[in-house]
Amino acid sequence: MMTGIVAIVGGTNSGKTTLMEKLIPELMRRGYRVGTIKHIMHKMVFDPSAKDSRRHAEAGADTVVVDADTNIVMFKSVAGNTESTDHVRNYVSAYFSDMDIVLAEGYKKQDLPKIEVYRQNDRTNPVCLTDANLVALVTDADLDAGVPRYGLDDVISITDLIVKTAG
């Protein structure tokens, strides 16, 4: 069975990370194993705090794993079209096979089920209103997006939707 993926999307500083911080423990309380992927739009600097592993990457290693006994961090070079949905699904297949649900923060252009976080004081419009993959809007605005609308703190209902959508 494929691990279910749901993207939490929205504009900059809309509250995506804050919502994920609330959803993760609720999903775990319900017995789900949860993984996350965070999409960033800039090139990431490799592990500046671990001098030896950084030297491995700078020497040209395509994959570097830092093993700290109780957890690991892996940096892996990827090639190809990083905009494709298959790219995200390939990550999940390769690295999250032991998870029940993966919450992907960002990935607003991907062909994934999306929950958009939008605040009424945001200076822009919601980013995914016309996206056929939008399954819900989490907002404090009186806005009809043609999908279920939840309040910013309605973690129980949003989690119910994630479980249904990822299942």
Q: What's the predicted TM-score (pTM) here? A: 0.85
- What is the set of domains in the chain, with CATH numbers? 4-41+80-166 (3.40.50.300)
Percent of the chain at pLDDT exceeding 90: 54
Pairwise CA distance, residues 147 & 116, whole Å: 10
CA atoms of 160 and 27, how far apart (whole Å)? 9
CA distance linking residue 54 with residue 27, whole number of Å: 34
pLDDT, residue 85, reads 56
Report which of 27, 42, 13, 16 is spatially closest to residue 99, judged by C-alpha positions.
27
156 close to 26: Cβ distance less than 8 angstroms? yes
Model pLDDT for residues 30-47, shown as the tens digit of each residue: 999 999 988 776 565 555
Decide if pLDDT at 48 tops 80. no
Residue 1 has pLDDT above 60, yes or no: no
- What local confidence, expressed as pLDDT, does residue 96 receive? 87
What was the pLDDT predicted at 31? 96
Residue whose pair of structure tokens reads 């395509």 in the numeric block: 62
What pLDDT, on a 0 to 100 scale, did the predictor assign at position 46? 54
Amino acid at 152: L
Q: Which residue has the higher pLDDT, 151 or 66?
A: 151
Of the given ranges (2-6, 62-66, 153-157, 159-163), which has the lowest mean pLDDT? 62-66
Higher-pLDDT residue of 34 and 76 is: 34
- What is the Cα gyration radius of the chain? 17
- For the chain, the first-to-last Cα distance in angstroms comes to 10
CB 122, CB 16: distance < 8 Å: no
Structure-model confidence comparison of residues 144 and 62, the more confident one: 144
Distance CA 82, CA 118 (A): 25
Supply the pLDDT for residue 43: 61
